[in-house]
Structure 1
Amino acid sequence: MSVTAFVIDDSAVVRKHLTETLQAGGIEVLGSAADPVFAWPKLAAKWPDVVVLDVEMPRMDGITFLRKIMAERPTPVVMCSTLTERGCETTMQALAAGAVGFVTKPKLGLREFLSDRSNGLVDAVRAAARANLRALPRSPAGAAAPAAGSAATPGTPAAARAPAAAVHGAMAETTDRVVAIGISTGGVQSIEVVLRQLDRTCPGMVIVQHMPSGFTASFATRLNSLLELEVLEAKDGDRVINGRVLIAPGGKHMQLKRSGAQYVVEVRDGPLINHHRPSVDVLFRSVAQCAGRNAIGVVMTGMGDDGARGLREMREAGAVTAAQDEASCVVFGMPAEAIRLGGARDVVALNGIAGWVRQVAQQPVTR
């Protein structure tokens, strides 16, 4: 697939290295500019498939320009920003406004990062080029955090590489339900659509959204301020209870385990699984083992296949499972693989996922 891109960053060094990285990855760079004001006439002359956009720039910030693009000529945008407190917040606002991916520039070792051909930029741009912008929900004002933009490719089966679940055997007698969701590209807006339709009677939820460390705390805080549900970045030992949403922290794997008659999460380090940490497969495998028939699993929009095998294990353990349908996905990668492998019992449109969860949660657990 031939992909074209345009780079906007106020640093000439950054523009140079990003351009070289994209070109080395087989992506044609149509041009670059130091800020959105300079960029607009160049873009108008020859529009790219993807715009790579810095966040904090002179004359016009990235969010304002992103909104201009989405209003006048909707185009996949990958944010490329430095990981600072303000940068996290601004990047999240941009992703909530319609960007479909991001690449984090480190504060230290920037030149080495920019020269590294495996820094994730090429994957993020290629994933963005395949995004279905018509399916991208528009978040209400002030909505939440960043989506993942990195691509995952099939490889060694996750079961062969994922850390073993912390405990063995699902609780047979508990009536507590657990909802596990895996989501990636396009997830910022999509997960908010689902969570806004749920209230504190909803079973406890555990979510893996592909994000690097530094972003998930802000993501959870913003969602918590918008929703009736309690939304937290998960900490080791946090309980899974009705009305609470636990989001796996970036850079850590999250697993479900049981403590007596209660469900809790374990948060720990580990190798990348399916190119991700946190990994959906790691969470889903633990949910299959610990919750079994008490679990509800959903794979949503995202690139690659993370979660497909884990959802199948959940279904084989008796959980009720679903995948988001193609028409409502920004990227129909993870759900497509889950469906292909037989992990999804149902296929549900984005706007129907919350209702589907409520309906399943009200049904008695089949023994």
Structure 2
Amino acid sequence: MASGKIRVLVVDDSASVRQAMKEVLEQDSEIEVIATAADPFAAARYIQQEVPDVITLDVEMPRMDGITFLRKLMQQCPVPVVMCSSLTEEGTETLMQALEAGAVDVILKPPMGVADHLIEAREMIRQTVKAAAKARVSELKAKSPSSEVEKKLTADAMLPPPTGKAMSRTTEMVVCIGASTGGTEALRTVLEALPANAPGIVIVQHMPEKFTKAFARRLNTLCQVSVKEAENGDTVMRGHVLIAPGGRHTLLDRQGARYVVSVREGPLVSRHRPSVDVLFRSAARSAGSNAVGVIMTGMGDDGARGLLEMKEAGARTIAQDEATSVVFGMPKEAIARGAAERIVPLGSIARELVRATVR
């Protein structure tokens, strides 16, 4: 990044999408779209001349699909890649394959012909690309704010801070996990290592709407624990993992001696919905010392404040270490605030959270 800007190559067969993506990205003074390409062959020719910092890559293109190109790219010239797709149920499984093949993240294409396209969607695209620029692609293989950007809200927008009163212990513990960039494969590593009787888990992974359902479905085929996208009122129970649905906040509530999740509409918190801070604060309020909080790879600071609130409420807290994080933003911020009791590598998180729930 000699110019100081993040150099982006946009690859999409639609000229209108290429232009829209270029305009969205270059509204951020830290991003420069150095070229656009209509297909992977044109993109490959450009990369031979200049390797970009980030590539945004369409899934469906003529002559070669995006997944095939991604796999070739990861083998020959690893570059952080953000996959782009329209919001369709059918496309979510393909995007899961892209993440497994080494894509850093997924974003939704900006809709065409919509003059008042949501500010938060444009900002999310730019933040995703900026996060990708910081990603360590090797780990995936095993801002200058616009005047349009809304104020960054805290979890206060969804629920008040914890009272500070100690929560009485129950016979069951609950685990809350937050992750963002690089988190899809990191979470897979953690969940695959858990025994079938692992404590109940609620996860916020920053992903667009509908992708979380495909993500949960994919994990459910790979893990001993049962994994599903969270629905309002679901009980958090041993051997089950609930993934917060994209586009809505997920909170932990206590009903007697059991825990349930509340899935709610609400504003962006820490510029995300679902927000890790919202989940963690709800755990601090509803579970206290009956909870374990885990913060993993991701850009930004979502979850750092909430993890500290969990710790102050008596919960055990864990952060992923820098060496195994694709982006060491969220864990770093939590550690800096003194929120993490334990800092461990990715391969040790499953064992650590099981140990933390044994009484």
Taking structure 2 as the reference length, what is the TM-score of the superposition?
A: 0.91
- 5+ residue gaps, structure 1: 139-152
After superposition, the C-alpha distances for 1:151-191 in whole angstroms (9 at most, x for unaligned) are xx997672543324899966514120111100001111100
State the Cα distance separating 1:68 from its structure 2 match. Answer: 0.6
Q: Following superposition of structure 1 onto structure 2, how do residues 1-367 of structure 1 map, counting pairs within 5 Å?
A: 1-26=4-29, 27-105=31-109, 109=113, 113=117, 118-136=122-140, 138=142, 158-164=154-160, 171-362=167-358, 364=359
Moved more, 84-93 or 19-28: 19-28
Q: Aligned in 2, Cα 1:295/1:252: closer, same or farther, shift over 3 Å? A: same
Instruction: Report sequence identity in percent.
Output: 53
Q: What amino acid does structure 2 have at the position aligned with 1:253?
A: H
State the Cα distance separating 1:137 from its structure 2 match. Answer: 5.2
Q: Aligned in 2, Cα 1:190/1:115: closer, same or farther, shift over 3 Å? A: closer
Question: 2: distance between equivalents of 1:114 and 1:159?
Answer: 21
Q: What amino acid does structure 2 have at the position aligned with 1:314?
A: M
Question: 1: distance between equivalents of 2:115 and 2:81?
Answer: 23
Tell me if the contact between 1:255 and 1:282 (Cα under 8 Å) persists in the aligned partners: yes
- 5+ residue gaps, structure 2: 143-148
After superposition, the C-alpha distances for 1:66-100 in whole angstroms (9 at most, x for unaligned) are 11111111100011111112222212211221111
State the Cα distance separating 1:129 from its structure 2 match. Answer: 0.7
The DSSP-based 3-state class of the residue aligned with 2:90 is helix
Q: Aligned in 2, Cα 1:16/1:48: closer, same or farther, shift over 3 Å? A: same
Question: 2: distance between equivalents of 1:360 and 1:71?
Answer: 39
Q: Aligned in 2, Cα 1:74/1:122: closer, same or farther, shift over 3 Å? A: same
State the Cα distance separating 1:19 from its structure 2 match. Answer: 2.1
Equivalenced residues, count: 349
Tell me if the contact between 2:165 and 2:313 (Cα under 8 Å) persists in the aligned partners: no
Tell me if the contact between 1:169 and 1:290 (Cα under 8 Å) persists in the aligned partners: no
After superposition, the C-alpha distances for 1:126-159 in whole angstroms (9 at most, x for unaligned) are 1111111222253xxxxxxxxxxxxxx9976725
Task: Quote the RMSD (CA, aligned, Å).
Answer: 2.5
Q: What amino acid does structure 1 have at the position aligned with 2:276?
A: V
State the Cα distance separating 1:113 from its structure 2 match. Answer: 4.5
State the Cα distance separating 1:25 from its structure 2 match. Answer: 2.2
Taking structure 1 as the reference length, what is the TM-score of the superposition?
A: 0.89
Question: 2: distance between equivalents of 1:208 and 1:16?
Answer: 32
